[in-house]
Structure 1
Amino acid sequence: MTRYLVVPGRGIPLPGHWSRTWVREIPEFQWAPEPPGPPYVAAERVAALHAAVSADGEPVILVAHSAGCLTVAVWASQHTGPVDAALLVTPPYLDPDWTPGPDEIADVFIDHVPREPLPFRSILVASRNDPHATFEQFEAYARDWGSELFDAGVVGHLDSKTGFGGWPDGERLVRSLTKPVRPQQR
């Protein structure tokens, strides 16, 4: 049986967010970790994801939103496990040279975003008007990570603030990552 681990972003998703709905309504889906909220400390999130992936030998499909995509990229650069695939939804672009200005509060702590191909199949969902990345930055992540690019259109950050509660297209994308089971021969 395939496990689906939902990797949250930096913040705590609102009750109607598609990720909360999936964890609440689909038994195979579980948090990795339960959304802790800011600050986003990559090392802590990666350790929690590794514990969840390692907790069982069953195959895993990762479903990550926003900074959760960065967690997946860092995890994949440091660990191995029974991960078959990942759905990476609107990862924020982090400029490697960015440092917070005097009026900015840093609540994202990550050394670097790995840009190597992921060792499993992945689909990166891109938005045409995301406030945290341009479409070209999504394309660069997809190219670097070896991900298929899914153009979701004008969907903002694909979160509750932009009107996404349930997300049927996302469910179809996740199911497309599941390896088909061959019928048994008689």
Structure 2
Amino acid sequence: MRGDDVLLLPGWQNSGPGHWQTLWEQQHGCHRVEQHDWLRPLRGDWIARLEEVLLARRTPAVLAAHSLGCHLVAAWAAHSRHTDRVRGALLVAPPDIERPELRTLLPSWAPTPRQALGFPSVLVAGRDDPYGDFEQAQCLARDWGARLEDLGPAGHVNADSGLGDWPQGWSLLQALAGY
């Protein structure tokens, strides 16, 4: 799989230097979808940006989403007529955006879209994610039509989880894309 086949969809506040998404961008040449505002994300603006990037591509993309980026994929898929522009999606550590403390920080994101995505997907979740419990991840995987991958105690599956460039995640992405 070529890195430029992959669109990276970071979550709230973007992905920092030690995050697997940043390392994939550096090592594999994946393309990060830049958003207009990482600190005050508006769902409609993020959906429009993803649609713009996907329509500008010559070939369908594979999505590698983390945290709020997972909800971006679901919201985009629920509204777009161009889901054929996605070959598959790796959805990593979706937070529970309907929790009161997150709903206050991310007011335009709830409710969570619950429709099937319309393309192959794998949802990866840790059992001790501080932003969403495993049972919630199981429900999202079911609703979105995603295969669930249990990472055990992996926190929010970010730089703090000590994954480095997360080769297991890259393998999941390659398998999802058919490589």
TM-score between both structures, scaled by the size of structure 1: 0.86
Partner SS for 2:178: coil
Report runs of 4+ in structure 1 exceeding 3 Å deviation.
98-101
Between the aligned residues of both structures, percent identity stands at: 34
Structure 2 CA distance for partners of 1:94 and 1:111, relative to 1, 3 Å: closer
Structure 2 CA distance for partners of 1:58 and 1:112, relative to 1, 3 Å: same
Structure 2 CA distance for partners of 1:168 and 1:159, relative to 1, 3 Å: same
Once the two structures are superposed, the pairs formed by residues 78-89 of structure 1 within 5 Å of their partners are 78-79=79-80, 80-81=82-83, 82-89=85-92
- 1 CA distance for matches of 2:101 and 2:18? 31
1:136 and 2:138 aligned = no
Partner SS for 1:87: strand
- 1 CA distance for matches of 2:47 and 2:108? 12
Q: What does residue 9 of structure 1 align with?
A: 11
Structure with more of its chain in helix, by fraction? 2
Q: Deviations over 1:114-148 (max 9, x none)?
A: 10111000000011100011111000000000000
What displacement does 1:112 show? 2.2
Partner SS for 1:11: coil
User: Root-mean-square deviation (CA), in Å?
Assistant: 2.1
- 2 CA distance for matches of 1:167 and 1:50? 27
What displacement does 1:13 show? 1.6
In structure 1, give the amino acid aligned to 2:94: P
In structure 2, give the amino acid aligned to 1:94: I
Q: What does residue 153 of structure 2 align with?
A: 154
The question of whether the paired residues in 2 share the 8 Å contact of 1:12 and 1:37 is answered with yes
The question of whether the paired residues in 2 share the 8 Å contact of 1:128 and 1:152 is answered with yes
What displacement does 1:93 show? 1.1
In structure 2, give the amino acid aligned to 1:88: L
What displacement does 1:36 show? 4.3
- 1 CA distance for matches of 2:101 and 2:166? 33
Of residues 38-47 and 149-158 in structure 1, the stretch that sits farther from structure 2 once superposed is: 38-47
- 2 CA distance for matches of 1:21 and 1:15? 7
What displacement does 1:47 show? 0.9
Q: What does residue 174 of structure 1 align with?
A: 173
Once the two structures are superposed, the pairs formed by residues 48-59 of structure 1 within 5 Å of their partners are 48-59=49-60
What displacement does 1:161 show? 2.0
The question of whether the paired residues in 2 share the 8 Å contact of 1:39 and 1:108 is answered with no
Structure 2 CA distance for partners of 1:35 and 1:92, relative to 1, 3 Å: farther
Larger Rg: 1
Once the two structures are superposed, the pairs formed by residues 86-165 of structure 1 within 5 Å of their partners are 86-95=89-98, 106-165=105-164
Q: What does residue 65 of structure 1 align with?
A: 66
The question of whether the paired residues in 1 share the 8 Å contact of 2:97 and 2:109 is answered with no
Partner SS for 2:11: coil
Q: What does residue 39 of structure 1 align with?
A: 40
**Structure 2, unaligned stretches of length 5 or more?**
none
